[in-house]
Amino acid sequence: EAGVAQSPRYKIIEKRQSVAFWCNPISGHATLYWYQQILGQGPKLLIQFQNNGVVDDSQLPKDRFSAERLKGVDSTLKIQPAKLEDSAVYLCASSFQPGTYEQYFGPGTRLTVT
Amino acid sequence: GESVGLHLPTLSVQEGDNSIINCAYSNSASDYFIWYKQESGKGPQFIIDIRSNMDKRQGQRVTVLLNKTVKHLSLQIAATQPGDSAVYFCAENSHGNKLVFGAGTILRVKS
């Protein structure tokens, strides 16, 4: 079974620029999550989708972050404009259904904002 | 709440010894706990889980212990191997809501 795919793996941008990350979850997984992992910390949930609907985006900085999952499969996370403190690894995870606690994580995208 | 910092606690063990990694959780309503392993450049990988109606669960070379009285979770790894070197995170979940991760512990295995 193929795992969660993410791209790009690395991205370096200057502050105030825009960036987008892409995630393809495991086939058949209805629930998709985006996490932010700052160096030295555990992952923090940014947004959770159930199919193409948002379940929880309470920790998403909506003034600069946006995410979509239009067809209920792939998802993109965008930051516009980026700040220095957005430097982190952005992890995508998926699970078969909500309430299924086991989440499968992708390799992440390491973002550096200079 | 979560502890924050660049300097994660580090546990160094000799290959073949047993490792014990500890975690204090914050939410007394949490009913499900997971241990994840994260190697450099990779996403977290599920190791073992335990529900709040249990106090011990065993897997292959790993055991998780839960003490709800003091809100403490531990991961025991038997016969630690070099491939076990990674950052280990505990995560808690309350009634199907979002996972909340702890800060992590670095495990270094010396050959």
B62 CB near a chain A CB, below 8 Å? no
Burial of A38 (0-12, 13-18, 19+ CB in 10 A): middle
Alpha carbon distance A27, A108 (integer Å): 18
Higher pLDDT, A21 or A40: A21
* pLDDT at residue B93, as a whole number: 87
Single out the residue of B37, B36, B29, B51 nearest to residue B97, CA to CA.
Answer: B29
Average pLDDT, chain B: 91
Of A42, A93, A103, the CB nearest to B89: A42
Per the model's pLDDT, the better-predicted residue between B4 and B30 turns out to be B30
Percent of chain A with pLDDT over 90: 85
- For the ranges A7-11, A34-38, B3-7, B77-81, the lowest mean pLDDT is seen at B3-7
Q: Is the pLDDT of residue B95 over 80?
A: no
Contact A104 B46 (CB under 8 A): yes
The pLDDT, as a whole number, for residue A29 is 92
**For B94, phi and psi rounded to 5 degrees?**
-115, 110
Q: What is the least distance, in Å, from the CA of A45 to any CA of chain B? A: 7
